[in-house]
Amino acid sequence: MREAAFCGQSLWRSVRFLFCRGGTIMLETITSVNGVVNGIVWGPVGLALLFGTGFVMSVRTGFFQFGHFRYWLRNTIGAIFTDRDITAHTEKNDKAISQFQSLCTALAATIGTGNIVGVATAILSGGPGAIFWMWAMAILGMMTNYSENVLGIFYRRKNADGEWSGGAMYYLADGLGSKRGCKKLGRVLAVLFACFCVLASFGIGNMSQINSIAGNMNAAFQVPNLLTGILLAVLSALVILGGLKRVAAVTEKVVPLMALFYILGALTVVLTHITAIPAAFAAIFKGAFAMQAAGGGVLGYGVSRAITWGFKRGAFSNEAGLGSSVMVHASSNVKEPVQQGMWGIFEVFADTIVVCTLTALVILTSGFVDLNTGRMLTEVQGSALVGEAFSTVFGSFGPRFIAVSILLFAYSTVLGWSHYGTKAFEYLFGTKASMGYQVVFVAMVLVGATMKLDLAWDLSDTFNGLMMLPNLIGVLSLSGTVAAITRNYVDRRFHGKRVEPMWSAFAEYQKEEEAEEAPWTKPQTNKERKKTRPSPGRLCRRAGSCHLFLVRAAQGCAPGVPPGGDARLPKGPVQ
């Protein structure tokens, strides 16, 4: 009996050893393979493709981000305060969301821990010069993001619920797939993109963010990880299961407040150390062009690391080229692809040029970096480094300020990515199946708060990069379409040409949009405007736009004004 028991125990130990050993070998294999793939997608090859795509799209659109800087700024952030159509909510039976809501939902996913932890990591690993190359990636990334949004609106479709569905999956399948001999290629790349997006949504779009929140709340306020997970899971269920409109309703309130909260705090720190600002910018430019070494190392090696880490963290931060934010931009109630494209430009501008730059200046002006050599003068890293920088002004409240900022930034990222994953899952399995995905997504919030996720973070990082490859193939192959849509918009809006607008790749949607567009709002040339201009009138300048309001004659309405309508002339071309 004892011998049998002994044999049984020995067998169990052997099985357990083999199982554990097998599990260890499997984890080591996964880690090794992931390291190789990650080194490709986020290495020189992937980053060169990302940079090159931004440059190609900038050239093909005539460097729109520079040439029309005032125009896109006025028609995005400026229009929020002057044009009610930008912020007005759609009707209950309309499944689309407003342009402002689409921006906030995209920024919710974009402005995340990368704007705090990512910037600190870039400076630690690549020196102050990494910030310059982060800017360079962002400037070109503006046109990559612009192109994604233009294609997203142009190739979007309505799903079974009447909601707009768009993204890289659709312009790969219907855009690239429509080219000769590319039908199968387009569909395969679309499916691969959707699969990578779903996998990334659980990692970098959910568990990794929640894990960061739980860790920081525990360190700053001693809140148990499990309690944080339960609270966030309940909140996520209330928001995410309510669909896109509820997600958008939350993000349009949270994102402006969290951005303002962080920007004001960062500005306070930077202005307190205002005398160090010139030296900080000098260190950024010196480090970018090898006039100083990263961390005090060899000069050539320093600039190489500055470029690598600047490009990498820049791409992580603004997500331009990953094809993620276009999935929410495509749900906007906008007609013009270029209009939504301009929101894409502003998205990258706000994320990297504004928020990331402020984080960098907070670190560089607070005395934790030797601005002459680029050497770190402290042992702390990541969010702790930013917290220490804030503590130079806010004292013990500094780390808590960062903990709250990460809570807002990371949780808003979860809300944004929930929609990305939903749309990718919908593409693969249909509209009805998307609710099942959302339930699993909410459950993973609790998992993310209570588990160690080192490998999960690395895997999701790789899946995020793998999304980039098929997306950039689609953007480059359809660069001619983006250029044509941009020219069409410029011809109509800037030069007053009467050409048919390019709003959709599909005839039924194009006709639907044209039917909704009132005939008197179509652009006219100056000559045509003079012919239709009635003679009593007065010029009224309002919100930077010129509108001619007619004085009604005693006999009736002015010519061209519909009975019962307002007496507003057609808008002319933008000057």
Tell me the per-residue pLDDT of 537-566, one tens digit each, with 9 for 90 and over: 333 333 333 333 333 333 344 444 444 444
Q: Mean pLDDT, to the nearest integer, of 416-442?
A: 93
115-173 pLDDT, tens digit each:
888 898 889 888 899 999 999 999 999 999 999 999 999 999 998 888 899 999 999 99
H or E element, residue 434: helix 434-450
pTM: 0.83
> Which residues is 165 bridged to in the sheet?
157
Report the pLDDT value the prediction gives residue 375, as an integer from 0 to 100: 84
Phi/psi region, residue 543 (left: phi>0; alpha: psi -120 to 50; beta: rest), is left
Confidence of residue 7 (pLDDT cuts 50, 70, 90): low
Higher pLDDT, 297 or 229: 229
**Among 459-468, 491-500, 515-524, whose mean pLDDT is lowest?**
515-524
pLDDT at 112: 78
What is the number of other CB atoms lying within 10 angstroms of the CB of residue 334? 23
Q: Output the pLDDT for position 573.
A: 38
Residue range 30-59: mean pLDDT, rounded: 88
Higher pLDDT pick, 21 / 150: 150
Top-confidence range, 95-104, 197-206, 341-350, 458-467: 341-350
Residue 256 has pLDDT above 70, yes or no: yes
Beta-bridge partner residues of 542: 545
Greatest Cα pair distance in the chain? 115
pLDDT above 70 (res 457):
no
- CA dist 526 and 8 (Å) reads 94
Specify which residues 29 forms β-bridges with: none
What per-residue confidence (pLDDT) applies to 372? 83
Kindly state the tokens that stand for 51: 């940079």
Burial class (CB in 10 A: 0-12, 13-18, 19+), 539: exposed
Going by pLDDT thresholds of 50, 70 and 90, the confidence category of residue 304 is confident
Q: Which of 472, 172, 153 has the alpha carbon at shortest distance from 319? A: 472
- Give yes or no for residue 58 having a pLDDT over 90: yes
Identify whether the C-beta of residue 283 lies closer than 8 Å to the C-beta of residue 371: yes
Provide, rounded to the nearest whole percent, the portion of the chain with pLDDT above 90.
47
The distance from CA 248 to its chain's CA centroid, rounded to whole angstroms, is: 14
How far, in Å, CA of 364 to CA of 111, rounded?
A: 21
**What 3-state class would DSSP assign to 546?**
strand
Measuring CA to CA, which residue among 79, 53, 75, 263 is closest to residue 142?
53
Per-chain mean pLDDT for the chain: 82
Sign of torsion, CA 281 143 80 491?
positive
**Residues 281, 287: Cα–Cα separation, whole Å:** 10
Q: Please count the helices (runs of H) and the strands (runs of E) in the chain.
A: 25, 4
Cα distance between residue 98 and residue 104, in whole Å: 10
